[in-house]
Amino acid sequence: MKIHRIYGLSLRYLYYFRKSWDRLSDAFYWPTIDLLVWGITSSYILKVAPNFPQFILIVMSGLLLWLILWRAQYEISINLLEEYWNRNLINIFVSPVKFSEWILTVMLLGFIKAAFSLPFAAFLAFLLYKFNIFMYGYYFLIFILLLFMTGWSIGFLVSGIILRFGTRIQTLAWTMIGLLSPLTAVYYPVSVLPFWVQKISYLLPPTYVFEAGRALIFNGVLELRGLIISLILNLLYLILSLWFLKRSFNKLLDQGLAKLY
Amino acid sequence: MDIISVSNLSKKYDKYLAVDNISFNLKEGEIIGILGPNGAGKTTTIQMLLGVLTPTKGEINYFGKNFHMNREEILEKINFSSTYTNLPWILTVKENFDCISYFYNIKNRKKRIKEIVELFKLEDLYYLKISSLSAGQLTRVNLAKSFINYPEVLLLDEPTASLDPEIAQYVRDFILNQRKKFNVSIILTSHNMSEVEEVCDRVIFLDQGKIIANNTPEKLAKSIDLAHVDLFITDGLKRTIVFCKKNNFKYKESGRFLKVDISEDKIHHFLKELALVGVTYNQISIDKPTLEDYFLQVVKRKKNENS
């Protein structure tokens, strides 16, 4: 791996980010709207049901943690789609850039862009609803890492599917992550889900993170066991999704990147 | 020394054989043109040479090293330009060059970018977005991009398509100049036959995935003996046409101008016969067979075979 190539790729995606209104609105506009809508709804519920003061904390923490997961997935799938839309994938791979360098770049970019949009959303949440993300302490870093790992896995899976079937199924880049939202119990405990859905829910690594977040808010205790299961599942899914993506890329090379221009 | 050596290269898509067991080489400082009708396998071959299409069979070596095993090292020394690929349209020319320069191990990036901007006269376009460039300007930017890493081998897919004649000539001169200065070896595809004749030392002619000719443009052109005789006939146009029909000479009539396709060894007989039947003309030009004639003959043969 060569740092200068990773830097070149990063530079290119950061230029897109700076210049594209779509990408900027993804990073700042939608998180703001989500925070406003969910925050106002939570405040209203708190008024009509004042005996559940943690409600707004649960919603706000779910929202911010979800933002991390979404950002990591979105970064990988959208950067691939940008190359498709620009008919530019061939320009990258006729240079010495390796597939692994491209993968590492899009993973890092998820971190970099989250470093912009997450503090912005966290600041808004504090300003509007007095929700302090630092109440999780250093555990928040563990949450971030685990959610990023899941986001990358889904991003690789979606990208692999797009490489195989082309842009006619590009909508997966926006919709696939949505499937996880009800299943991973972002805003409610897993126990409220039907029993058979709970089984699926516990196969998904973010479930343990959202549960751990809620446990911290309610009891001030970290559920370490759940987080270890989340890490193991994440590692497994990450390996499988990377394998699938590489296979899809090789399949694409069998057909030729020329078919993309 | 062989810069590129291709042996027994094939590419099969399901049942369709796009490239069929081709072998050729490219010497240091040589310019090869790959020609052929649509679907002949030109782009497929270029893609395999670039490593963005996996061959079904065969081997590609650059600088005596296996391409598959030494991809990173080899791609540092080669580059590619095509009229049909885009650069990110939202970025400016400058931003694109900045990013691409980091893909390669270039020592003084800023200096190199400045050099190619000057060489390709891109000063006025430098801060413009790719989306605002015309097709010709984009081709020029793409071509400039391909020189960014001081390539030892260049693969050019239609390098002058959509350029205006003046810029196209500038690009051809530039390619020849780069070869002269730095001994760059080049493979190019083009539909512009006169360009191939002007620039290429050798032509590889592909048809249905096979190499059907591998020779200098002059020798390929000479392999068909068809010449063109252009006459401005002042008296005896009808007699000339009758004579052409009788002898099965293909002709094209435009006013008093007559263009006759005729084998070189029969020109003497043709002109003598016209004189005998009293045909007079006050302008005559004889064009030798060109690469385009060779190309047309192959395409015609292919059509006949298909029908």
Counting one residue from A and one from B, how many pairs have CB atoms under 8 Å apart? Answer: 99
pTM value?
A: 0.81
**B190 in contact with chain A, both atoms CB, cutoff 8 A:** no
The Cα angle at residue A150 between residues A174 and A17, in degrees rounded to 5: 50
Question: pLDDT at position A124, please?
Answer: 86
- What does A33-82 look like in DSSP terms, one character per residue? HHHHHHHHHHHHHHHH-TT-TTHHHHHHHHHHHHHHHHHHHHHHHHHHHH
Interface-testing mutation among B76, B102, B138, B155, with chain A (most A C-beta atoms within 10 A): B102
Question: pLDDT at position A34, please?
Answer: 83
**Cα dihedral sign, B213-B218-B224-B230:** positive
Mean pLDDT of chain B: 89
Residue B25 lies inside a defined structural domain of this protein:
yes
The Cα angle at residue A164 between residues A160 and A166, in degrees rounded to 5: 105
- Which CATH number covers residue B208? 3.40.50.300
> Residue B122: which domain range?
88-145
- Other Cβ atoms less than 10 A from the Cβ of A254: the count is 13
Q: Tens digits of per-residue pLDDT, B208-258?
A: 899 988 999 888 887 777 788 999 999 999 999 988 998 888 899 988 999
Which tokens hold the place of B29? Answer: 């400082």
Q: Give residue B135's pLDDT band: very low, low, confident or very high (50, 70, 90).
A: confident
Asked whether residue B112 falls in the same domain as residue B248, the answer is: no
Q: Is A256–B53 a contact, with Cβ atoms under 8 angstroms apart?
A: yes
Name the helix (H) or strand (E) containing A101.
Answer: helix A99-129
Nearest CA in chain A to B92: A15
Q: Is residue B99 a contact partner of residue A13, using CB atoms and an 8 Å limit?
A: no
Q: How far apart are CA B251 and CA B256, in angstroms?
A: 12
Q: How far apart are CA A180 and CA A178, in angstroms?
A: 5
- Which CATH number covers residue B256? 3.30.70.100
**B1 in contact with chain A, both atoms CB, cutoff 8 A:** no
**B57 in contact with chain A, both atoms CB, cutoff 8 A:** no
- Other Cβ atoms less than 10 A from the Cβ of A203: the count is 11
pLDDT of residue B300 exceeding 80: no
Question: pLDDT at position A248, please?
Answer: 94
Rg (CA), chain A: 19
**A8 in contact with chain B, both atoms CB, cutoff 8 A:** yes
Q: Is A256–B90 a contact, with Cβ atoms under 8 angstroms apart?
A: no
Average pLDDT score over residue span B201-209: 92
Residue in B171, B207, B184, B172 with CA at minimum distance from that of residue B300: B207
**Cα dihedral sign, B168-B170-B172-B178:** negative
What is the residue type of A27? A
Which residues on chain A are in Cβ contact (under 8 Å) with B51? 93-94
d(CA A154, nearest CA chain B) in Å: 25
Question: pLDDT at position A261, please?
Answer: 46
pLDDT of residue B96 exceeding 50: yes
B232: CB partners within 8 A, 6+ apart: B256, B257, B281, B282, B283, B284
Asked whether residue B156 falls in the same domain as residue B61, the answer is: yes
The Cα angle at residue B48 between residues B46 and B53, in degrees rounded to 5: 120
Asked whether residue B270 falls in the same domain as residue B158, the answer is: no
Q: Is B103–A96 a contact, with Cβ atoms under 8 angstroms apart?
A: yes
Q: Is A60 exposed, middle or buried (0-12, 13-18, 19+ CB in 10 A)?
A: buried
Average pLDDT score over residue span B180-208: 90
Residue B49 lies inside a defined structural domain of this protein:
yes
Nearest CA in chain A to B106: A4
Which tokens hold the place of A194? Answer: 């039907």
Residue B301 lies inside a defined structural domain of this protein:
no
Q: Is A16–B80 a contact, with Cβ atoms under 8 angstroms apart?
A: no
Which residues on chain A are in Cβ contact (under 8 Å) with B89? 86
Which residues on chain A are in Cβ contact (under 8 Å) with B105? 2, 4, 96
Asked whether residue B229 falls in the same domain as residue B214, the answer is: no
Question: pLDDT at position B40, please?
Answer: 87
Nearest CA in chain B to A101: B103
Residue B177 lies inside a defined structural domain of this protein:
yes
When comparing pLDDT for B132 and A83, which is higher? B132
Q: Is A258–B44 a contact, with Cβ atoms under 8 angstroms apart?
A: yes
Number of compact structural domains in chain B: 3
Residue B29 lies inside a defined structural domain of this protein:
yes
Residue in B46, B27, B30 with CA at minimum distance from that of residue B190: B46
Question: pLDDT at position A192, please?
Answer: 94
- With a cut of 70, list the residues of chain A below it in pLDDT: 258-261
Q: How far apart are CA B45 and CA B173, in angstroms?
A: 25
The Cα angle at residue B70 between residues B67 and B73, in degrees rounded to 5: 110
Percentage helix, strand, coil, to 5, in chain A?
85, 0, 15
DSSP symbol at A211: H
Average pLDDT score over residue span B125-137: 91
**B83 in contact with chain A, both atoms CB, cutoff 8 A:** no
> Which of B110, B125, B145 is at the close of a domain?
B145
Q: Tens digits of per-residue pLDDT, A175-185?
A: 888 889 999 99
Nearest CA in chain A to B48: A256
Interface-testing mutation among B49, B80, B103, with chain A (most A C-beta atoms within 10 A): B103
Q: Is A253–B76 a contact, with Cβ atoms under 8 angstroms apart?
A: no
Residues within 8 A of A (CB atoms), B 88-117 only: 88-91, 95, 98-105
Question: pLDDT at position A259, please?
Answer: 57
- What does B203-214 look like in DSSP terms, one character per residue? EEEEETTEEEEE
Asked whether residue B200 falls in the same domain as residue B230, the answer is: no
**A97 in contact with chain B, both atoms CB, cutoff 8 A:** yes
Q: Is A4–B105 a contact, with Cβ atoms under 8 angstroms apart?
A: yes
**A21 in contact with chain B, both atoms CB, cutoff 8 A:** no
- Other Cβ atoms less than 10 A from the Cβ of A17: the count is 20
d(CA B56, nearest CA chain A) in Å: 8
Residue B20 lies inside a defined structural domain of this protein:
yes
d(CA A10, nearest CA chain B) in Å: 8
Nearest CA in chain A to B51: A94
Q: Is A20–B90 a contact, with Cβ atoms under 8 angstroms apart?
A: yes
d(CA A12, nearest CA chain B) in Å: 6
Say what the ipTM of the complex is: 0.81
B172: CB partners within 8 A, 6+ apart: B160, B195, B198, B199
**B180 in contact with chain A, both atoms CB, cutoff 8 A:** no
Average pLDDT score over residue span B63-83: 93
Which residues on chain B are in Cβ contact (under 8 Å) with A95? 75, 79, 100, 103-104
